[in-house]
Amino acid sequence: MHPAGPDEVSAVLADAARRAAAYRRAAPDRPVAPGPAELAALTAFDTPLPQEPTSVASVLEQLDRVGSPATVVSNGGRYFGFVTGGTDLAAEAAAILAGAWDQNVALPVMSPVAAQLDAVAARWVCELLGLPAGATATFCGGASVANLSGILAGRDALLARLGWDVGEQGLWGAPLLRVVTGTEAHVSVHKALRLAGFGRRQVVEVETDEAGRVRADRMPALDERTLVVLQAGNVNTGASDPFDPVVGRAHDGGAWVHVDGAFGLWAAVSPRLRQQLAGVEGADSWATDAHKWLNVPYDAGIAICAREEDLRRVFAADAAYLVAGAVRAPMHLSVQMSQRARGIETWAALLANGRQGIEELVERCCALARQFADGLAAAQAEVLAPVVLNQVLVRFGDDATTDAVIAAVQAGGRCWAGGTTWQGRRAMRLSVCDVAITEADVDAAVAEILRCRRQVGRD
Ligand SMILES: Cc1ncc(COP(=O)(O)O)c(C=O)c1O
């Protein structure tokens, strides 16, 4: 491997920027998912590892020629799958420049600028989400890792209060804890619990209502050996658990409350929506994503703890060659040691949009979700849950027809929606999360979904 000369660096980076811009300009007109020819062409990548070098220009040319047409265009305004954010322009541009910087944010001494932007972005996120002064946010790979971080912080804090030091004594022989969560907890919560040493037998799943909210009246007694995991934004319906009644009771009993708010926590930025989260600020830890509703490029999760020492108890790791101290150092607050300076892109998105821009984005997505539901309901599709946020669940007659419509939409390439099973019935799932989506996009998607219903012949 040889260092590139300045002319080559300039030429290659200019070429990359030109190709990136061309891709983004064309995104709204591309098929939203690759067709058979584009997928078949991917075999061109499947070569033996070459012995000789390939020019960087040629690497980039191949990536664009074969790779770009095989992308799922999730930032062009017609993708409604999973909960997928689009691409905020400021965050994208910042990612390009920060990529050139190639900073490691583990310790401030490794990158003062990354440390500063990471700290500012973390503070802004907490303020924007209405979380308590003193809360500490830290960036990570996604809400799955953020859930793991909050659950580990809660586990070790509960054990510390019981006189057990996990760092010193480990987990074997520790006082038994249990977890209380709703039957609708996200799969990433169960994965995180497993990683944190909780098996299914230690998890009490509380009944949820027709919107997927945990039933506060069915909560068991919550004591100092209990880790409660609540949810802001059900992945199917968008509904949030009732925080007020549960958080108060949990804290009266000495329990820890973690909130999985991967996308739903962003409802806090809207005065019209924030009552859905009443009491969420009283929790002990929160997980969210910037790559979902904030439209920051992948990957950007955020773990937040009410008290920084609860993160430090789990993650601080000092060694002689590392600079220790009281300053904020992401490696002492998160799973990773070396890490990309993810906070830079979130900082850019927050600065470029301001409070007002984010509030508008969240409210516009919710209005577009209602437009989807109204448009489909007007054509006698069945909307399975009230649209309270940015998620829509819709069904076309029976399970088989619903699945056939989903398959036809996905094959058509004009828009993309996924499927799910909601309370025993198959449903199409539409998530409105991309800054690029317009009213015209939703009208076109409704028309396409109804065309597919006609095509499967059951209209
Ligand atoms: C409610 C909820 N929690 C957690 C996650 C996991 O997030 P990530 O994929 O960023 O790890 C998701 C992803 O859709 C989610 O919707």
DSSP string, 329-353: -GGGTSS-SS-B-THHHHHHHHHHH
**Which residues does 194 contact at the CB level (< 8 Å), separation at least 6?**
none
> Is residue 430 a part of any domain in this protein?
no
For residue 103 the two structure tokens come to 């900073």
Between CA 314 and CA 325 the distance in angstroms is 16
At residue 38, what are phi and psi to the nearest 5 degrees? -65, -35
Locus of tokens 């800054």: 435
> Does ligand 1 lie within 6 Å of residue 237's CB atom?
no
- Take atom 12 of ligand 1 and give the residue whose Cα is closest: 262
Indicate the number of domains in the chain: 1
Q: Which residue has the tokens 């309901």?
A: 377
Q: At what angle do helices 6-26 and 89-101 cross, to 10 degrees?
A: 160
What's the pTM? 0.98
Q: 164 is in which domain, residue-wise?
A: 94-349
**Ligand 1: centre distance to CA 318 (Å):** 31
Ligand 1 center to 176 CA (angstroms): 28
User: Is 171 a member of any domain?
Assistant: yes
Is residue 388 situated within a structural domain? no
CB 432 less than 6 A from any atom of ligand 1: no
86 inside domain: no
Does residue 406 sit within a domain?
Answer: no
Is 115 within the bounds of a domain? yes
Determine the Cα–Cα distance for residues 207 and 215; give it in Å rounded to an integer: 6
In this structure, what CATH number is given to the domain that contains residue 170? 3.40.640.10
Domain membership flag for residue 12? no
Closest CA to 242 of 223, 254, 259, 256: 259
Could you list the pLDDT tens digit for every one of the 459 residues in the chain?
788 999 999 999 999 999 999 999 999 999 999 999 999 999 999 999 999 999 999 999 999 999 999 999 999 999 999 999 999 999 999 999 999 999 999 999 999 999 999 999 999 999 999 999 999 999 999 999 999 999 999 999 999 999 999 999 999 999 999 999 999 999 999 999 999 999 999 999 999 999 999 999 999 999 999 999 999 999 999 999 999 999 999 999 999 999 999 999 999 999 999 999 999 999 999 999 999 999 999 999 999 999 999 999 999 998 888 876 668 999 999 999 999 999 999 999 999 999 999 999 999 999 999 999 999 999 999 999 999 999 999 999 999 999 999 999 999 999 999 999 999 999 999 999 999 999 999 999 999 999 999 999 855
182 within some domain: yes
